[in-house]
Chain A
Amino acid sequence: MKPVPAFSMLSLIRRSTLLAGLALLASLSAPVAHGQGSPPVQPLPSKKPDTDAKVWGALVFASNDPKEAASMPKVDVPAEFADIPQRLGKVFPYKHIDVIGQHLQDVFREYESWVVPTKDLFLKVDSKGPAKEGGMNLHLQFWRDQQVIVKTDAVLTAETPLFIAGPKWRGGQLLFVLVLQKGS
């Protein structure tokens, strides 16, 4: 996309959002001062943002190497998603398929949601509302560190998970799973 000139007085107001972002970045990067006379900060009571659904995202390591697979710390998968590794095996021909990270996340109606089963591979989810045929209309962005790998518009249903084939790693492959939680 062609860059646009960053500065124009007519767009000063819009710039304020960027400046707010920079301020946030600075505040996130700044070291936190503890104690030393500073009064404890009480969080302000706030209304929780509206949500449209709940999704489960998982990072899966698939490998044919039993030693490599055994060395990976696994997470306990909720019963409702327990069949996911077996279903992954029908698509990705690996002997060992293990969930090594997971994230259960509300999908916010008016804000972006993040599904982060690891800091290395994660998903940004924007709700576009319920789909006519059932499920949710979502805009998804699959990120690897600071690089977006793929962006997609999809209808995600509770019956059918989305499997994303991630990068190869240590002789195996990293897979990403996104499931719409039933009844959410």
Chain B
Amino acid sequence: MSDKGDNRGVSRRTVLKAAGVAAAAGILQSPYVRAAKRELRLLHDQTTAESIKAMRDAAALYEKERGVKVIVDSVPSEELYPRILAGIRGGRPYDLTSIIFVAHMVSLAKEGQLVPVTSLINKYKWGKRILFPLDGVHYYFPWAYALCWLYYRKDLYAQLKLEPATNWNQYLENARKCMTTGASRRYGHTTPIGSNVATNWMTFGFMWAQGVTLFKDDWSLAINEPQVRKEAAAYLDFMSELYKVMPPGATQFGFASAMQQFGADQAAHAPYSGRMIEYLEQKAPNLADKYGIIPYPNSTGQRKAVNHGYKGILVYKTDMAEESMRFLEWWQEGPYIDFLHSAPLNYQPARLDIYDDPRWKADPLIKKHAEAVKTMRAFLSDDKLIIRSIDTEGPAPDLRPSKVFQSNVLAEMIQNRLLKNTPADACVDEAVTRMRQIIA
């Protein structure tokens, strides 16, 4: 009885073949070959179909004009930083990536992974609070603001004879009056309260307007001061009133919920950036001309705020660094505007000259919503408007406020007050204690 050793032999051969292929692939991926092939690798986090297309079009154009291939990868924003790290750790870093959080930039710069973009920054004029230099050196090249403000229903206000709110009581009143009951009820306001980025971005506008800050110039906790604690507690009590006019399930709300609920007439007020308008145009066109914009008011009517947000690009210290800088420069001169047009109202330009650029202004949505664009532009030059975000608190770009952001201390402070009904002072107490632990 002969033994059928053939089966074993075949699998051995295939294994060897596979190993050979793997080795060959490895050689092809090596940096020498890459440089010889002149390839740029770019990673960005704008995952809408339009933005991906705009970026890929720019890549194709660059290859045509300069002869360098640009490979574009996209990833959802939450996975951006782990993806960047995995690339670096695995020996295949990207040459250019988008970035959101300043702390990530700080961390990467500290590890010597980034290339300064100061020369390019100095070419342009920029809006408020959008540059994040480390000891005078710029690594963060901002390409858009992502400010968050409040939307309200102009038609409901006209119907119910309401005025845009300038203080908390008025805001609550307006929200309450807009509520309806029945099978498809409308709530007064919607905002996320879960421990996530959406909450950090959309829910603290009222707190900033009230004058709360987190860090003093020496990095001690400003929120620990008795006066600031009082304001934070007042904010919490206001939120617990606002919670009563919000739809259920707020711990699960993310970015999209606000747009969906506002667009489906399930919430009369909602926070967002310009993307809300684009959403309405696409999914709820009957409301596309019925919205109004206000900044977050404070309790007395004397202050207002928008929540800060920003999107940037980093250039990495790879062997293609020079080419990356050239690409960035080239991109900023023209294709950048096409990219902005992939979400013309959401991508609020950080470069002030863009606002006067006829190419940018020629977009149909920008033309149609010129009022809104004017308001958005005005935010940047309004000296009385507070623009803050959790992770940009403090005197300089640093990891500490980012730790506060990522640990969701403030979101949990809200949850404590709203879900467990803990008295506001105790909530603030706990938040301050936790913040101390986190930044220790």
State yes or no: do A and B come from one complex. Answer: no
Q: Which residues of B contact A (CB under 8 A)?
A: none
